[in-house]
Structure 1
Amino acid sequence: MPTTDSAPAGQQANAHPQGVNPLLDPRDLRLPRIADPCVLVMFGITGDLARHKLLPAIYDLASRGLLSPSFSLVGVGRRDWSDEELRDYVEQAARSGARTPWRPAIWDQLAAGMRFVEFSSFEDDDAYAALSRVVAELDATRGTAGNRAFYLSIPPGWFPAVTERIARSGLVDEAAGSWRRVVIEKPFGHDRASARELDDLVGRIVRPDDVFRVDHYLGKETVQNILALRFANTMLEPLWNQRYVDHVQITMAEDIGIGTRAGYYDTIGSARDVIQNHLLQLLALTAMEEPTSMDAAAVRAEKEKVLASVVLERDGVLDLDLTTARGRYDSGFQGGLPVRGYLEEEGVGADSRTETYAAIRLEIANRRWAGVPFYLRAGKRLSRRVTEVAVVFKRPPFLPFEAAATAGVGANTVVLRIQPDEGITMRLASKVPGTQMELRDVSMDFGYGASFNEESPEAYERLILDALLGDAPLFPHQREVDLSWRILDPVIEHWAASGAPQGYRPGSWGPASARELLARDGRIWRRS
């Protein structure tokens, strides 16, 4: 094709010595990254996660032009559905949950590539043979180029049966010029040993770099912004260490109970549900050293170093009675309405010892963070819904003001708000207007909604797209999972031998033992 640029070819080459046309440079952030043509096989497509999160995210990606026109979706489930019934189900989910406007042309293109394969069970060999035929048909008729991703949104107990039969059916056999990937929802095992077994199972069908473990918190814009805040600015990084930081609090609080999730939650508990993955990942991002690049391997290496340095000891002594706390919400009133206690929830046994609140004190044994405690807490039926990382700085060693002037001043704090009010708050001391020298805490606030015109994509949009692109920075690697269980396993084992969790009032901030956990260090939890 003739060029419209009148400059000689040699001058063009000198202007761009690497031979890169800036209008087509893949590094140009104005250009969207579009996934390869592929078939996404979704096990568990009839579940709540798929209906409320995954299917709306797929429509939104298509609506934003980020999926190939050849993208195809194969649903696997126990329903006696036709392809058309699957399309009706996906349409209802997308219409109710998508954030982008409904566009019939986009939907028609997306729906044309949808197929459903009925499984009487995940051990049905005939169903896997049928699945192989459907995927081959899509390769031939939709131009999906042999690329396949398998989304396992199923209970971990079914992983052995599914992975074994996927391998036996030939669905993941490597073919030149195409890729095979597996996407796994948490939990990644229930302890370190089971996590390693899970990794072995998945490793039999795809390479380690083709396994994408979904931690949806890592897809949130505000979580990714932790790296931007730390490494794109010079103002905070020199202070981000044990010389200036007093302690760090990482909180994930929910103001609701377990709802209808007793079957899942009562076998997991708060620590396994969110501390092992979400909160330890937030700790790693907050405490890691600067990576050499944002390449997945570089980011992963720094996170792994931090997690490998985490210790449970307090002043060199391991006493989990002093460094952990757990609780279980009682019946009472929340928001003016009566609520049931955990043991009264449908599906929870009277002898359950599952915690709905967990708090852990950790330290990081390295030069940057030596002596700085990290407090992690997560719970249900707490005062309000909030997820945040609060970096609390040491107080000045000397204040030239009268004591009465600084009575209303606390420690400087940087709060990274993950949800629901996404943004960053810095708490500083400032003079109160007037003739007296009186100081008071003030907040400098950045909110995503007020600062950017762009609407943040849902976490699952980013994660699904990155899995289809093969881009892994937001997915924890098996080594990170293993290190996280190394930290949590002793806590779980200790609690299993320690009787029932301590009760706490709905709408409070957890059990008394959680307050005592910080009081031993002369600190208090933030009232988020």
Structure 2
Amino acid sequence: MSPTTLNDPNAYSNCLIVIFGASGDLTKRKLIPALYSLWESGQAPKSFAILGVSRTEFTSESYRDKLFEFSKGSYDPEKWKEFSQCIYYHPGDPTATGSWKDISSTICDISEKHDLGQNRMFYLSVGPQFFEPIINNIGSSGLVTEGRRYCSIGEERPWQRIVIEKPFGSDPASAIKLNNTLAAVFDEDSIYRIDHYLGKELVQNLLVVRFANSIFEPLWNSNYIDHVQITASETVGVEGRGAYYDSPAGGAMRDMVQSHLMQVLSFMAMEPPVRMDAADIRTEKNKIFKALRVPKYEDVPKIAVRGQYGGGQISGKPVMGYRDEKGVAPESQTDTYAAMQVYVDTWRWGGVPFYLRSGKAMAEKKTEIVIYFKPTPHLLLKEEAKKQKPNQIIINVHPNEGIRLRFEGKVPGLGLKIKDVVMDFDYIKQWDVEPSDGYAILLNDVLRGDQMLFKHRDEIEISWNAVQPVLDYWADNPQDDLPNYNAGTWGPSSADIMMARDNRYWHNY
């Protein structure tokens, strides 16, 4: 990512942004607000247009009105009036081959009207079952050239980029199939597999903490680190998405651990890249994914835990159990909580376990990385040492973004009493800014052609291999104690037992 280009309009090529699934929640809640924010702050092309495509019947005017109404006053009315003039809508089914004559015609008409050439961003804001037919239809439409017909030296080549939301398959085979479908239409450097977790400031800040500070990097290895915990917990349940979550693509292991948390782990564990650019960072991340220890089928009960929430209370309000949600099977085995012990078999991380966990309807909403350091080799203050907690670095990704360093200090007064001390870097207080929305950061990168925060196909396929034995074991061995944790708690007791087996405990507060 080059900071010098972030507010330079010349760093962006004029383009048309085509959003499939334009009437959906993601487009209204995230994509349009992110694009508005980029336009308002000058981080957008000099000329661009947005075309929404969906089956819902709207005109361009009624679609603009719907977006403004949905925003509940978050857009400045005068600025929105100007911005919305570049938003268009086409009602049609992008999965149906017969719809593409009209879709292609609309794309070309808008591109000509705004003098956008053939530069296009296709955004798949649709369910995973629609990915492949839409990709195939884009390929058959003749809209993808990617500069293949423009070979003169110095001639500006048009580009077409595709942005695709997770899930990237539901197992290794389906991930490979999806990647092959993408590769048949787009070059790999035009494919942007988006993970909004990688747009969060504190995930990116990991690179700065590690590689810009000499006090951290010498300690970042198995000589000093006992283990690492990566947690993504939510206080909400499935909230009406029961039918999707209970499908073969659902569950915490597939939805969160295999995708988001594995990505955070790769940033945490990677070696220093040669340069701070997409290709070199991806190279180092891929080395981490290749070093992931694939668990043996028979070891799964010792290194992985499945949970499912029952009824309970969160913030004093009753919450129904997962199996009571609409669209969920009465005896569903879907995991709404998943925890897994992972090893990265490299020289730096040999023997250091990484504990990944994610759950819905839990006691607190947080995404954090906790690095637990080993105790000192010789405890001089033995009686006091029994009360000591390990030194920790806590990276709060969301909310309360910041970094905390926990170590031991002497309590003032007579005698030698030790108590833990916390040094706190609060992101919002320090910089007096709100963290940028992840989608704004990532869409800005797509517009500039920067793939640093996007997944390569190799990352997807290798990370699936690391979790598939767990999924296979769970499929073969139904669990008769589900649901096994109450909504509003920290998950099933079996997760605590897994940690206690190694004399460790979860960082819950």
Tell me how far 1:35 sits from its aligned partner.
2.7
CA contact (8 A) 2:368 2:396 kept: yes
Matched residue, 2:140 = 168
Structure 2 distance, partners of 1:332, 1:87, is: 40
> Could you say which structure has the larger radius of gyration?
1
CA contact (8 A) 1:95 1:102 kept: no
Structure 2 distance, partners of 1:437, 1:204, is: 69
Closer, same or farther: CA 343–248 of 1 in aligned 2, 3 Å: same
Question: Which of 407, 410, 431 pairs up with 1:431?
Answer: 410
Tell me how far 1:95 sits from its aligned partner.
5.3
Question: Which of 175, 189, 194 pairs up with 1:195?
Answer: 175
Structure 2 distance, partners of 1:348, 1:271, is: 17
Matched residue, 2:349 = 369
Q: Aligned residue pairs: how many?
A: 495
Matched residue, 1:154 = 126
Structure 2 distance, partners of 1:174, 1:364, is: 37
Structure 1 distance, partners of 2:430, 2:5, is: 19
Matched residue, 2:396 = 417
Matched, 1:506 2:496: no
CA contact (8 A) 1:167 1:173 kept: no
CA contact (8 A) 1:55 1:93 kept: no
Which ranges in structure 2 are unaligned for 5 or more consecutive residues?
Answer: 151-156
Matched, 1:240 2:212: no
1:304-360 deviations in Å (ceiling 9; x for gaps)? 10111111459xx95111000011011123332222111111211112110110000
CA contact (8 A) 2:145 2:159 kept: no
Closer, same or farther: CA 251–173 of 1 in aligned 2, 3 Å: same
Structure 1 distance, partners of 2:45, 2:5, is: 19
Matched, 1:516 2:497: yes
Equivalent residue letter for 2:267? L
CA contact (8 A) 1:45 1:153 kept: yes
Aligned positions of 1:89-488 closer than 5 A:
89-94=66-71, 96=73, 98=74, 102=76, 104=78, 106-119=79-92, 121-175=93-147, 176=150, 177-267=157-247, 268-313=250-295, 319-403=299-383, 405-488=384-467
Matched, 1:55 2:32: yes
3-state DSSP of counterpart to 1:158: helix
Structure 1 distance, partners of 2:276, 2:223, is: 27
Matched, 1:85 2:62: yes
Structure 2 distance, partners of 1:432, 1:359, is: 37
Closer, same or farther: CA 107–353 of 1 in aligned 2, 3 Å: same
Equivalent residue letter for 1:336? G
3-state DSSP of counterpart to 1:366: coil
Closer, same or farther: CA 79–255 of 1 in aligned 2, 3 Å: same
Equivalent residue letter for 1:382? M
Structure 2 distance, partners of 1:63, 1:40, is: 17
Structure 2 distance, partners of 1:46, 1:312, is: 40
Closer, same or farther: CA 207–402 of 1 in aligned 2, 3 Å: closer
Which ranges in structure 1 are unaligned for 5 or more consecutive residues?
Answer: 1-25
CA contact (8 A) 2:400 2:426 kept: yes
Equivalent residue letter for 1:380? K
Question: Could you tell which deviates more after superposition, 322-331 or 495-504?
Answer: 495-504
Tell me how far 1:27 sits from its aligned partner.
6.5
CA contact (8 A) 2:15 2:119 kept: yes
CA contact (8 A) 2:343 2:350 kept: yes
Structure 2 distance, partners of 1:148, 1:303, is: 28
Equivalent residue letter for 2:97? D
RMSD over equivalenced CA pairs, Å: 1.8
The TM-score with structure 2 as length reference comes to 0.94
Tell me how far 1:366 sits from its aligned partner.
1.0
Structure 2 distance, partners of 1:51, 1:407, is: 53
| Identity percentage of aligned residues | 38
Structure 1 distance, partners of 2:434, 2:398, is: 15
Tell me how far 1:66 sits from its aligned partner.
1.2
Equivalent residue letter for 1:279? L
Structure 2 distance, partners of 1:202, 1:279, is: 24
Tell me how far 1:272 sits from its aligned partner.
0.5
Matched residue, 1:5 = none
Tell me how far 1:407 sits from its aligned partner.
4.1
Matched residue, 2:154 = none
Tell me how far 1:29 sits from its aligned partner.
6.6
Tell me how far 1:118 sits from its aligned partner.
1.0
Tell me how far 1:75 sits from its aligned partner.
0.5
CA contact (8 A) 1:312 1:323 kept: no
CA contact (8 A) 1:312 1:318 kept: no
Matched residue, 2:153 = none
Closer, same or farther: CA 147–428 of 1 in aligned 2, 3 Å: same
Matched residue, 1:10 = none
